[in-house]
Structure 1
Amino acid sequence: MHTLLPFILVLVLLIVFLTIWANQLKIAYPILLVLAGLGISFIPGLPVIEIDPDLIFLIFLPPLLFEAAWGVSFKEMKKWWRIIGSFAFLVVFFTAFLVAIISNQIIPGFSIALGFVLGGIVSPPDAVSTGAITKFVKIPKSTSAILEGESLLNDASSLIIFRFALVAVGTGQFIWYEAGLDFLWMLFGGVGLGLLIGQIFIWIHRHLPTEPASDIALTLITPYFMYFIAEQIHCSGVLAVVAGGLYMSNKRLTFLAATSRLKGASVWESFVFLLNGMVFLLIGLDLPVIVDGIRAHGTPLSTAIGYGVIITLVLIAARMISAYAAMFATIIFRPQVAHQQQLSSRRWYTPLLMGWTGMRGVVSLAAALAIPLTLPNGEVFPHRNLILFITFIAILLTLVIQGLTLPYLIEKTNWFRGLENEDEIHNNTKLKMKLGLKSHVYNYVKGRYETQSSADEAMERILKYWEDQTKVQDNSWMNGVSKQILLDIFAEQRIYLTTLNKDEEFDEELIRKQIYQIDLEEERILLVFGKH
C-alpha cells in the first residue's frame, strides 16, 4: 500500500494537468486521459492497480449516475421522452443484438450468450465523453436534452442485458418467461426502491439538525445505499440510483438549505471529476495486462484488433441506422412535430451527428472489468480477456476518432445554423423571467409587510433594493427584522421560480441558474450579517 499510494497521487496530479491541457486545446479531456494511461502503462516497474470485479460497479457507478441524475432536467426528459426512450432502450437492445450476431459469426468459439455479454458492455454511449466534447461546440438545446436523458437510462438497459447474458453463459440456458419476470422485477423494483430510499434520506435531511457538512456527507452515501440495497434484492441498482437521484433532485429546494446546495455542488463536481479521471486512466493502464491475457490464450494481437475494429464499426452503424429510423418515424407518424422541432436544413444532418455522438467510456469499462474471473462451476470465464480487449478498442476508437471529429462535423454541416434565433429566444425568456421575478417580489413585499411603517428606514431600503436593483452601500440599516424579511423574500423567489418552471416557455436550466444566484445572495447576507 505504501508504494501504491504515491502512484495514485501522481495519477490524480496527472488528471488535473491533462484536463487543463485539454481545455487549452479545446478537446475532450477523456481523450487525453485514455491516451496518457496507454502511454504510461508501458513504463516498466509501475505498480499494477487491480480492482475486484465485484466492487467495480459499486465504487464508480453509483456516484456517477447520481450526479448525472441530479443535473439533468426532468422537464426536458418528459418533453422528449419518446426519442429518449427509444435511444435508451430500443437502440441499446438493437445494438446489443447486432453485436451478438456479428461476434458469433466472426469469432471462433464465441457463443450467442457471450455475444450478448459483449453487446451489453459496449452498447451504451458515455455521457461524460459526449458532454466533454460538446462543451466546446454549440448544439441545439433539444439535442443536448436528448443526449443527457438517454445517457441516464441507456446504462440501465445495457446492464440488464449484460446481467442476463452472464446468467446464460454461466448456466448454459436461457428461460424466456423467467427472464421476463426477472426483467419486470429489476425494472419496477429498482425504480420503486430508489424512490423509497430517496424519500427516507429526504426525511433525514428535513428532520435532523444537519449542517452543510453533514448534508453533503449524506448525499455522498445516498447513491451507494440505493445501489447496494437494490443489488442485494436483485433489482436494478442502476435504475434505483437514477430514479432516486431524479426524485431527490426535483425536491432539493425542500430539504437542502442554500449553503448546503452551494457547497455540495462544489464537492460533487470535484468528486465526480476525480472518479471519471481515474476510470479513463484505468482504461489505458489495463491494456498491457489484457494483451498478455489474449496472447496467453493463443489469439494473435492483430486478429484481436481486427475484431475490435469490426465491433466498433457495428456500434457506429447501429446508432446511425437507429437515428435515421427515428427521424423517418417522426416524419411519418408525427409530421407536425418534425416540422416544429427542426429546420429543414438541419433535419438530415441531425441523425448523422446524433449517431456520431456514440462515444463509449466509463460504463463500458466498468462492465467489462466486472466480468467474473470464473464461472459458477469454477471454470475460467471464456474469452474474458478478448471481451476486455474489444471493449478497450471500442472505447479508444470512438473516443479518439469520433471525439476529435465531432466538432469538425458540426462546423462543416452548419448544425448550429439557426441557433442564433434560439439564443434570442433564450435571452428574451431570461429577461421576461427576471422582470417577472422583480415584479413578483416587489408586490410580495408591499402586500405582506404593508403594516410596516412607511417611515421605517429598513422597509424603505428593502423596497428600493428590489425596485431599483441596486446595492445599498451603508449596511447600518440591517437588523434582525430586516434580515428575516430578506430571507423570506429569497424563499418566496424560489417558490415563484419553482412555479414558473412548470411553464414550458421557461428552460429549467435557466431557472436553476437563477436559483443558484439567489442562493449566492442569501449566503452573502448570512456571511456578512450572521446566521442568527
Structure 2
Amino acid sequence: MLEHFPFYLALIVLIVLLIMLANKIKVAYPVLLVLAGLGVCLIPGTPPLKIDPELIFIIFLPPLLYEAAWANSWKELWHWRRIIGSFAFIVVFLTAVSVALVANSFIPGFSLALGFVLGGIVSPPDAVSAAAILKFVKVPKRMASILEGESLLNDASSLIIFRFAMIAVGTGQFIWYEAALSFVWMVIGGVGIGLLIGLIFLKAHKWLPTDVNMDIIFSLVTPYAMYIAAEEVHASGVLAVVSGGLFLSYHRHVFLSSSSRLKGENVWQSFVFLLNGLVFMLIGLDLPEITAGLKDEGIGFYEATAYGLLITAVLILGRMIAAFGALIVTKIASYFITVADRNPGTKAPLVMGWTGMRGVVSLAAALSIPVALENGTPFPHRDLVLYITFIVILVTLVLQGLTLPALIRKVQLPDYNDHLPEEETENLIREELARESLGYLKQHHAAELEHSFVLQKLANQWRNQLESDETVHVPANIKSIYKNLLDNQRQLLLRKNRLEQRIDEEIVRKFLHQIDLEEEKLKHA
C-alpha cells in the first residue's frame, strides 16, 4: 500500500486536471475520467487499484446518496412524485425484466436469476453523469427536478432487485411471498430507520454543545450510520440514507448554525468531488482485472463485447420506450386528473429517454458480487457480468454523454412556465424581504431605529432595495437586533418556499445562503 502512495496522489492530481479540462472543453467529466482510466491502466507498471467488493457500497454510496438528498428539493420531489415514482420504480423494474429475458435468451449459461442480477446492476441511470452534462446546457426546471428525483430513488429500487436476484442465484430458488414480505420490510424499514437516525442526529446537533467542526463530523458520520444500521437489519440502506438525508435537509435551518451550513457545504463539495472522481477513474482502471477474468471463463473478448453492446441496446431502447410510454399515459391521465399535462409534446420524452448514462451505482453493484457463493462454488459468470457492466457504462457515457448536449440544443425544449422567471423571482423576494424587515424594525425596535445610525442605514438600504458591502462597527445590542431580523428573513423565505409552488427553491436557497453570509459578517463586525 505505502509503496503505491505516490501513485494514488498522482491519480488525485490527474483527476483534478481532467475535470478542469472537461470544464474548459465543455465535456462531462465522467466521460474523460473513464477514458483516462483506460489509458492509465495500459501504461506498463501501473499498480492495480482494487477495493474489497464487500466494502464498495459502504465507501462510496452512503455519502454520494446523502449529498444528493441534501441538495434535492423536497418540494420539487413531491410535486413531480408521479413521474419520478414511475421512472424510479416501474421503469427500473421493467428494465431489469427486459435485461433478464434478453440475457437468458442470448447469453449461454445465463439463468433467469443471473439475468436479474445483471438487470439490477445496469437498470439505474447515473445522476452524476446527467448533472455533469446538464450544467453545460439550459434545460427546463421540471426536467432537472425529475432527473434529480429519479436518481435518488432508482438506486434503491435497482439494488432491491439486485439483492433478491443474488439470493435466487445463491439458493437456486425464489419464494415469492417471502420475497414480497422482505420487499415491504426493506422499504418500510429502510425509510423508518433513516428517519429515526436522522431525528437522533438532529436532536444531538440541537441539544449538545456542538461547534462547527463537530457539526461537520456529525454530518460525515450520519450517512454511514444510516446505511449500516439499515443493512444490519436487512432493510434498504439506500432508502435509509435518502429518507434521512431529505429529512435533515428539510430541517437544516432548525438545528445547524449559519457557520456550520456554510463550512459544511464546502467540506461536502470537496469530499463528494473526490469520491465521484475516484469512482469514475476506477471504472477505467478496473478493465485489466475484468478482461483477465474473461479468459478464465473461456469467453472471447469480441464475444463478451457483443453481449455488452446487446445489453446496452436493450437499455437505451427500453428507456426511450418508457419515456414515450409515459407521454401516452400522461395524455390518457389528463382526461381523469388535473395535474397531468394534456399536450406534453415529444421533445421532453426524447431528451428524457436519452439521459440514460450508467455510472457509480452500477459499478458499485457489479464489484460487490462475491467471488464465490456461500457453498464455496465460484459465482457463475461473475467476470462476464463485470465486463458487460463496464461496456454498458462506457458506451452510454461516451455515446449518450457526448451527444446529449447537442440533442438538447437541437430540440429546443419549451419553457413550461412551472416557475416564475429567475429575475422576477429574485426581485419579488428582495421586495418582500425589504418590506418584512422594515415592518419588523418598526414593530419591535422603533426606539432603536430612531436613534441608531446603523439601523437607519439598514432601513434606508431596504427602502431603496439596495445592497451594501460596507463594513461598519456594530454595537452589541444592534447585533442582537440584526440577528433576530436575519432569523425573521430566513423564516419568511422558508415559509414562502413551502407555500408557493412556482417559487424555484434553488433561488430561495441562494438567498438563504446570502443571509448565512450576512450573519457570518455580523459576527466579525
Q: What TM bracket, shorter-length normalisation?
A: over 0.9
Match of 2:450 in 1: 454
SS of residue in 2 equivalent to 1:406: helix
Matching of residue 290 in structure 1 with residue 290 in structure 2? yes
Query: What is the rounded CA distance, in whole Å, between the counterparts of 1:511 and 1:184 in structure 2?
Result: 36
Q: For 1:336 and 1:140, how far apart are their aligned partners in 2?
A: 26
Task: Assess if the C-alpha contact under 8 Å between 1:3 and 1:47 holds in 2.
Answer: no
**Match in the other structure for 2:149:** 149
- Choose from 398, 420, 428 the match for 1:432: 428
Q: Mapping of 1:410-489 within 5 angstroms? A: 410-415=408-413, 417-418=414-415, 425-452=421-448, 454-468=450-464, 469-471=466-468, 473=470, 475-476=472-473, 478-489=474-485
Shift of residue 473, structure 1, vs aligned partner: 4.7
Classify the secondary structure of the residue corresponding to 1:499. Answer: helix
Cα displacement (A) at 1:44: 1.4
Aligned pair partner of 1:360 in 341, 344, 358: 358
Aligned residue pairs: how many?
Answer: 523
- What does 1:126-145 align with in structure 2 at a 5 Å threshold? 126-145=126-145
Conserved in 2, the CA contact under 8 Å of 1:465 and 1:472?
no
**Matching of residues 244-259 of structure 1 within 5 Å:** 244-259=244-259
Unaligned runs of 5+ in 2: none
Are residues 186 and 98 of structure 1, via their aligned partners in 2, closer, same or farther at CA, if it must alter by over 3 Å? same
1:464: Cα distance to partner? 2.5
Structure 1 residue 150, shift from structure 2 partner: 0.1
The structure-2 alpha-carbon separation of the partners of 1:338 and 1:137, relative to structure 1 and needing over 3 Å to count, comes to: farther
Contact 1:122 1:360 in 2 (8 A): yes
Corresponding residue number in structure 2 for 1:515: 512
Q: Are 1:492 and 2:481 an aligned pair?
A: no
Q: What's the counterpart of residue 396 of structure 2? A: 398
Q: Distance in 2 between matches of 1:459 and 1:427?
A: 28
> Does the 8 Å contact 2:330/2:340 carry over to 1?
no
Cα offset, 1:410, TM superposition? 1.1
Q: In the alignment, is the contact (CA less than 8 A) between 1:291 and 1:389 conserved in 2?
A: yes
Check conservation: 2:420, 2:503, Cα contact below 8 A: no
Q: Is the alpha carbon distance of 1:26 and 1:510 closer, same or farther for their aligned partners in structure 2, counting shifts above 3 Å?
A: same
Residue in 1 that maps onto 2:384: 386
Paired with 2:44 and 2:337, the residues of 1 have a C-alpha distance of 58
Distance 1:434 1:27, change over 3 A: same
Identity %: 54
Q: In the TM superposition, what are the counterparts of 1:338-377 in structure 2 within 5 Å?
A: 341=341, 347-377=345-375
CA positional deviation for 1:456: 3.7
Give, in angstroms, the shift of residue 336 of structure 1: 8.8
Counterpart position of 1:64: 64
User: For residues 524 and 31 of structure 1, what CA distance do their matches in structure 2 show?
Assistant: 40
Where structure 1 has 5 or more consecutive residues not aligned to the other structure, the ranges are none
1:200 corresponds to: 200
What residue in structure 1 maps to residue 174 of structure 2?
A: 174
- CA spacing shift, 1:48–1:489, aligned 2, 3 Å: same
Output one character per residue of 1:428-447: Cα deviation in whole Å (capped at 9) or x when no partner: 12211111111011101111
Amino acid at match of 1:54: E
One-letter amino acid matched to 1:467? R
Alignment of 1:219-238 (within 5 A): 219-238=219-238
C-alpha distance in 2 between matches for 1:36 and 1:425: 40
Shift of residue 467 of structure 1? 2.5
Amino acid across the alignment from 2:49: I
Computed over aligned residues only, the root mean square deviation of the Cα atoms, in angstroms, reads 1.7
Paired amino acid for 1:81? R
Aligned to 1:23: 23
2: distance between equivalents of 1:279 and 1:41?
Answer: 14
Deviations 1:110-130 (A, max 9, x none): 000000000000000000000
2: CA distance between counterparts of 1:42 and 1:247?
Answer: 45
SS at match of 1:3: helix
Name whichever of 153-162 and 516-525 sits farther off. Answer: 516-525
* Residue equivalent to 1:110: 110
SS in 2 for 1:475: coil
Query: Partner residue of 2:317?
Result: 317
Shift, 1:24, TM fit: 0.5
Distance change >3 Å, CA 83–CA 439, structure 1 → 2: same
Amino acid at match of 2:446: E
Q: Match of 1:504, as an amino acid? A: Q
Letter in structure 1 aligned against 2:521:
R
Query: Where does residue 35 of structure 2 map in the other structure?
Result: 35
Please give the residue correspondences for 1:265-304 in structure 2 after superposition, counting only pairs within 5 Å. Answer: 265-304=265-304
* Distance in 2 of aligned mates of 1:412 and 1:316: 20
1:330 and 1:337 in contact (8 A); partners too: no
Offset at 1:424?
A: 6.7
User: Could you tell me which residue of structure 2 aligns to residue 183 of structure 1?
Assistant: 183
- Structure 2 Cα separation of the partners of residues 462 and 454 of structure 1: 12
Secondary structure of the residue that 1:454 maps to in structure 2?
Answer: helix
The residue that corresponds to 1:10 in the other structure is 10
**Amino acid aligned to 1:68:** A
SS at match of 1:452: helix
Query: Partner residue of 2:165?
Result: 165
Which amino acid counterpart does residue 399 of structure 2 have in structure 1? I
Distance 1:332 1:359 in 2: 29
After superposition, the Cα gap between the structure-2 partners of 1:137 and 1:338, relative to the gap in structure 1 and judged at 3 Å, is farther
Shift, 1:466, TM fit: 2.9
1:252-290 Cα offsets, whole Å, 9 max, x none, are 000111111011111100100100100000100001110
Q: Which amino acid aligns with 2:365?
A: A
Q: Which secondary structure state, in structure 1, belongs to the residue aligned with residue 451 of structure 2?
A: coil
Give the deviation of 1:208 after TM superposition: 1.2
Aligned to 2:448, the other structure's residue is in SS state coil
Helix, strand or coil at the partner of 1:402: helix
Q: CA deviation at 1:522?
A: 1.2
